[in-house]
Amino acid sequence: MASSPHQDDRTILDDDDLWRRIRPEWFVFDKNLSAKRLSTAAFEDSSDGPMSVILVKEAGDPTTGLPTGFGVASLTAGAVRAQRQGVCRDPKPDEPAHALVFGWKPYSVQKALRKSAVLVLRPTDVP
């Protein structure tokens, strides 16, 4: 794992589900599938820090506060750690189950995270 100010929280178990909010623009047309699919862009860090997720077991309803039109993808903490990423709690006043996935995310890691993700809720304007 790349050096980071964050520490991997091992109380977050490998089997624990992490939900990632998915923006509609993170879907791309795949000509091989003749359909839209989730892009690796969904698994990049944001401009202001590590990738944001929700700890499902600690959230009441993980879709509460989901912006209109957004979807949700699920990953396990183990799948994230298999890509040399760490997971740590980062509670927010309006989102106590908020967490971060941190570590270097080259394209190969983003692609592996995309492949291990399960789409739980498709964004409303993505057919």
Q: How many CA atoms lie within 13 A of 40 on its CB side?
A: 8
Q: Does 61 map to a domain?
A: yes
Across 20-28, average pLDDT: 90
Q: Identify the band that residue 2 occupies on the pLDDT scale cut at 50, 70 and 90.
A: very low
Residue 104 lies in a domain: yes
pLDDT above 90 (res 35): no
Average pLDDT of the chain, as a whole number: 90
Give the contacts of 46 (CB within 8 A, at least 6 positions apart): 52
**Rounded to an integer, what is the distance from CA 98 to the centroid of its chain?**
11
At 19 the three-state DSSP class reads strand
Q: Please tell me the total count of domains within the chain.
A: 1
Mean pLDDT score, 85-95: 94
> Which residues span the domain enclosing 59?
17-121
